Amino acid sequence: MKNYSHRSRILITGGAGFLGSHLSERLLNDGHDIICLDNFFTDTKDNLSHLLDNPHFEMIRHDVTFPLYVEVDEIYNLACPASPIHYQFDPVQTTKTSVHGAINMLGLAKRTKAKIFQASTSEVYGDPEIHPQQESYWGKVNPIGPRACYDEGKRCAETLFFDYHRQHGLNIKVARIFNTYGPHMHPNDGRVVSNFIVQALRNEPITLYGDGTQTRSFCYVDDLIEGFVRLMNTNDDITGPVNLGNPGEFSMIELALKVKDLTGSDSKLIYKPLPTDDPKQRQPDIAMAREQLGWNPTVKLEEGLKPTIVYFEQLLSSSIK
Ligand SMILES: NC(=O)c1ccc[n+]([C@@H]2O[C@H](COP(=O)([O-])OP(=O)(O)OC[C@H]3O[C@@H](n4cnc5c(N)ncnc54)[C@H](O)[C@@H]3O)[C@@H](O)[C@H]2O)c1
């Protein structure tokens, strides 16, 4: 491909989503040209409205399960519904998005000789038997449960990335992303941080599943995006998979109380049964990211929750108007 400009042309699939919109903004600020692809399955253009007039930003309505012909230097493959409510809505399409999407984007990377990044997930570890999870752990996934369309789809996408790397010499970068939060999350996708904040802001009961002692670690979106860019810019011999997440562990009760405190809400805590295959604990081991990327999350939970709460306050007040 002849690119006479010093700017890289970067394709982001799922670019209208929570992470994709932050990544688009970051890469535009870094001086690149962005092609943002999305079929708007879970998101609208709202996350990108501030970028649409930028001449270096281009939006394409397209489904990654179909081939795409563009000329690019780098591809970030993020397209996939990410929350259980969204990915269980049409599970067959979820697997297709991960698997056919990976095949199509890897084919594009092969033709254009582009570097390609895959947004994989901590869900490839399933309900893990070891804590924290290192990249060498192969996981414990139920292949026929309701979460399998996502977990196994992402596992198969990783397989495809590594086979294209071994068979065709593609320059791949695979990140296993752990729970991330921040502005532009969906208000109704059932993910715990958005759930708790929305419930607290509405003074509705905050819903805990099980006894609320299960733990999660939460990474602020700016930290995660920094990890993406660092991984993409590593030498060709670094492929991942590499865990990206914040190892700080919090129980669901602790998170609920923090949200209640920061929002000044009167919400009560209520308890419901645990959903099927819900992991009891998940925590990344990020030694590899520290060593290979020099990356470390820096935003404390309380600091990241503040702008996230402001975002949801604005969203809820504009939807009331
Ligand atoms: N946010 C997290 O905590 C997290 C954790 C682990 C992995 N990930 C991965 O990161 C990626 C982005 O997640 P997110 O939180 O931004 O989710 P999101 O749902 O906000 O964004 C995903 C985007 O992909 C689009 N999309 C879905 N199917 C598509 C298709 N067939 N063709 C084109 N576009 C399609 C959606 O419309 C949406 O805009 C996903 O692949 C997800 O699996 C996210």
Q: Which atom of ligand 1 is nearest to the CA of 79?
A: 24
Distance separating alpha carbons of residues 270 and 282, to the nearest angstrom:
22
pLDDT tens-digit readout, 212-234: 998 889 999 999 999 999 999 99
Of residues 176, 154, 192, 155, the one with CA closest to residue 224: 176
Catalytic (active site) residue 150: yes
What's the pLDDT score for residue 3? 53
Q: Which helix (H) or strand (E) holds 118?
A: strand 115-121
Q: Is ligand 1 within 6 A of the CB of residue 20?
A: yes
Helices (H), the chain: 18-29, 84-87, 91-112, 148-168, 192-201, 221-232, 252-263, 287-293, 301-320
Can you say how many angstroms the Cα of residue 166 is from the centroid of all Cα atoms in its chain? 26
Provide mean pLDDT across the span 300-306.
97
Catalytic site residue from 76, 87, 125, 150: 150
Indicate the pLDDT class of residue 79, thresholds 50, 70 and 90: very high
Provide mean pLDDT across the span 280-305.
94
What's the pLDDT score for residue 282? 76
Say yes or no to pLDDT of 321 above 70.
Answer: no
Residue type, 289: A
Provide mean pLDDT across the span 18-47.
94
Distance separating alpha carbons of residues 83 and 18, to the nearest angstrom:
11
Q: Which of 23, 80, 98, 149 to mutate to test the pocket of ligand 1 (most atoms within 8 A of CB)?
A: 80
SS3 call for 139: coil
Joined together, the tokens standing for residue 141 give 């996934």
